[in-house]
A and B are shown apart, each in its own frame.
Chain A
Amino acid sequence: MATKAKSAAKPRLGPKKLIELYRSMLRIRRVEETLTEVFSAGEIPGFLHVCLGQEAAPAAVCSQLKVADYVGTTHRGHGHALAKGVDLKRFMAELLGRSDGFCLGRSGSMHLADASRGVLGANGIVGAGIPIAAGAALAAAKKYPGRVAVAFFGDGATSQGAFYETLNMASLWKLPLILVCENNGWAEFTPQQVHMPGEDVVDKAAPFGVATASVPNDVLQIYQAAGQALKRARAGGGPTLLEVKCDRWHGHYVGDAQKYRGSEAVETAMAEDCLASFEAQLKKDKVLTKAQANKIDKQIQAEIAEALEFARSSPPPQAEALMEGLYV
């Protein structure tokens, strides 16, 4: 896994916001757990990349975004879309390849997009979403001042030329862009020491004059750093590269036996649980009771069950729709 970042400042948040963050993280966790089961049961075709263990960054960043702000995400993008507020029913329908999905069942998990929530689109090409988000930031700067774009990506994507090229242009043009690198220590099946020298993605921004912050997988520290980045971007101060040092629990995709990794490393990764530690902190601070946590969990489980039911009963896309909408 990525090395630990130094502890950063934490924001002073009221109980309502803290519970909202907790709820957002738990919702991502439960959705990903459910999807893992549903995928393993053969109900979801293709590939599925889940973000279990990486719920903090999507919740912390997206909870500070407005509906009209843009988010570009990745093949591991469920958490970002959910935290940005996409409708869970249509989300599930898309993952099951049904006609009620946001993308009419054409995108599946890996290309999920919901323009109505500013979710530009997940991307099957590692790193490709970074310049696209920069383009959204350019449109924001020219047409919708105050609006921002966020690009989520992993450490693997920071070896793509498009990452450096975008850092360069975003800095030159002071784009309202927040580059959020969830540094989970893996480029697909390749560990970090094999795919990049050093351990800190923020170091890669040094030549470009881009503001940086590196924080551990702690929702409040991410919240604080993202808040500063957003403030800077909305005020016309240009881009920020925000690195979150996290870890990946489930391999590259669901079903990846992670033989290249060893069970001990997986256990170590899973012991670092951003949700469990946040929950413990909230309980310790008496912001969240056990009963409240159970209630939230039940609500989420019910919402997921309902969304899954909706998706299962949504008709598959009809063959007649195959040629529709290729061109305007």
Chain B
Amino acid sequence: MSDNAVKEVRYIWAINQALSEEMERDEDVILLGEDVGAPGGAFGASRGLFEVFGPERVMDTPISESAFMGLAAGAAACGLRPVVEIMFMDFMTVCMDAVVNQAAKMRYMFGNQYTLPLVIRTPAGAGLAAGPQHSQSLEAWFAHVPGLKVVMPATPADAKGLLKSAIRDDNPVLVVEHKALHAMKGPIPDGEHLVPIGQAQVLREGDDVTLVSAGRMVHQALKAAEELAGEGLGLEVIDLRSIQPWDKETVFASVAKTHRLVIAQEAVKAFGFGAEVAATVAEEIMDELDAPIGRVGAPFVPVPFGLEGAYLPGSGQIAQAARQAAEGGF
């Protein structure tokens, strides 16, 4: 096999590969979480790792997010590199103190005495009929907290590359996986594969409208771009990949080219990362814009079990927002 060979791998197995490779590389890396041991994780992310690395490094926890997240923060400050799985992002609410008041602040608050190499992996998002308490996209909450980094891989390659970078990062990093992407297959470069945190990727070039998204919505954005290409509209699709920090440079460069911007997120539209991107563009390069910024996001209600179809924003709304941006003006 040549050096630049690629393999088709499922998103969940890309995560598994990242965990396995990093545990192999660095014995300070440990896994903590509910069912991560012999069961291999609720979604299978740690399947097989318990057999290879043993219970000392793949640690099943009681259902105690509050304490095992605090414990992971303490362990990270004292030399381990814990990778914590929070089974559903909704359960992050149970350990907010440990994440927000403790892990995020320990470095700065204590005068840079500590490094906090803590990774939190958590599947988020709707689309699996998991209901209001197992389907939320809460990434903006954490992007709002100084001291945390937040990444949202949209592809198997990024799931692997971003997780590996997160594990090597000396800061707390929240890796927001989309559980509807877990089964998705995609190419992963052979050998060591790292994706830098804070770097967006232009997935499709276009001259007419810049389309910024992250996570599962990236695929909806690509679908919308394909649809609009048939209408003669060129969409430039940017996958942010990281939302804290986010790649302003790539977004600004694209807006300077297209002069029109739409941001799509799965989370409720209000106060999401789309609002931050929109506000920053309006604040710093308003004169580049030829039309109002469009935002796509979920309606301001909890994720309804039986109404996900009506709830979830998709390519249709993105295409509509892009058309509006393309036709609009001040």
Using CB atoms and an 8 Å cutoff, list the residues of chain A in contact with chain B.
70, 72, 101-107, 111, 113-116, 120-121, 123-125, 128, 130-140, 142-143, 149, 161-162, 165-166, 168-169, 172-173, 324-328
Chain A residues whose C-beta falls within 8 Å of the C-beta of B111 in the assembled complex: 101-107, 113, 325
Contacts of A165 in B (CB 8 A): 62, 64, 66-68
Inter-chain contacts of A166 with B (CB < 8 A):
67, 70-71
Measured in the bound complex, the distance between the Cα atoms of B69 and A135 in whole Å is 9
Which of B74-82, B223-231, B268-276 lies at the interface? Answer: B74-82
**In the complex, per-residue mask of B84-111: 1 if CB is within 8 Å of any chain A CB, else 0:** 0000000000000110011000111111
A328 touches B115 (CB 8 A): yes
Is the CB–CB distance between A139 and B75 below 8 Å?
A: yes
Interface residues of B in 154-171 (CB under 8 A from A): 169-171
Instruction: Identify which of A70, A102, A125, A137 contacts B110 (C-beta below 8 A).
Output: A102
Contacts of A130 in B (CB 8 A): 67, 70
A162/B170 in contact, CB under 8 A: no
Q: Which residues of B contact A138 (CB under 8 A)?
A: 71, 74-75, 80
Q: Tell me which residues from 217 to 259 in chain B have a Cβ below 8 Å from any Cβ of chain A.
A: none
- 6 smallest CB-CB distances across A and B, nearest first, come from A135-B74, A131-B70, A165-B67, A103-B111, A139-B78, A132-B74
Residues of chain B lying within 8 A (CB to CB) of residue A125: 97, 101-102
Task: Give chain A residues whose Cβ lies under 8 Å from the Cβ of B113.
Answer: 102-103, 113-116
Q: Does B20 contact A (CB under 8 A)?
A: no
B179 is an interface residue with CB less than 8 A from chain A? no
For A325, the closest partner residue in chain B by CB is: B112
Contacts of B77 in A (CB 8 A): 115, 120, 132, 135-136
Chain B's closest residue to A175 (CB) is B71
Residues of B at the A interface (CB closer than 8 Å) are 28, 30, 56, 59, 61-62, 64, 66-80, 82, 97-98, 101-102, 106-115, 146-147, 149, 169-171
Q: Which residues of A contact B69 (CB under 8 A)?
A: 131
20 A-B interface contacts by CB (under 8 A): A107-B109, A123-B102, A124-B101, A128-B70, A131-B70, A133-B74, A135-B73, A136-B74, A138-B71, A138-B75, A143-B79, A162-B66, A166-B67, A166-B70, A168-B64, A169-B71, A325-B111, A327-B149, A328-B107, A328-B170
Q: Chain B residue with minimal CB distance to A141?
A: B56
Known: A327-B147, A328-B170. A70 touches B78 (CB 8 A): yes
Measured CA separation A128–B102 after assembly (Å): 8
Q: Which residues of the partner chain B approach A116 to less than 8 Å between Cβ atoms?
A: 113
Residues of B within 8 A of A101 (CB): 111
Q: Which residues of A contact B82 (CB under 8 A)?
A: 135
> Are B30's CB and A142's CB within 8 A?
yes
Nearest CB in chain B to that of A121: its residue: B110
Q: Is B67 touching A134 in the complex (CB atoms < 8 A)?
A: yes
Across-interface contacts of B98 in A (CB, < 8 A): 128, 131, 162
Whether the pair A135, B107 counts as a contact (CB closer than 8 A) is no
Q: How far is the CA of A102 from the CA of B113 in the complex (A)?
A: 8
Q: Contact at A136–B110, with CB atoms within 8 Å? A: no
CA distance A104 to B171 in the complex (A): 19
- Give Cα A123 to B62, complex, Å: 24
Selected from A123, A131, A161, the residue in CB contact (under 8 A) with B71 is A131
CB atoms of A132 and B62 under 8 A apart = no
Instruction: Find chain B residues with CB under 8 A from A325 CB.
Output: 107-108, 111-112
Inter-chain CA distance A162–B67, complex, in Å, is 5
Residue of A nearest to B60 (CB): A172
Inside 8 A of B71's CB, which chain A residues have their CB? 131-132, 134-135, 138, 166, 169
Would A328 and B171 count as touching, CB distance under 8 A? yes
> Inside 8 A of A139's CB, which chain B residues have their CB?
74-75, 78-80
Q: Which B-chain residue is minimally distant from A115 (CB atoms)?
A: B113
Q: Write the nearest CB–CB distance from B55 to chain A, whole angstroms.
A: 10
The complex places the Cα of A120 from the Cα of B147 at a distance, in Å, of: 18
Alpha-carbon distance A138/B109, docked complex (angstroms): 23
Q: How far is the CA of A172 from the CA of B63 in the complex (A)?
A: 13
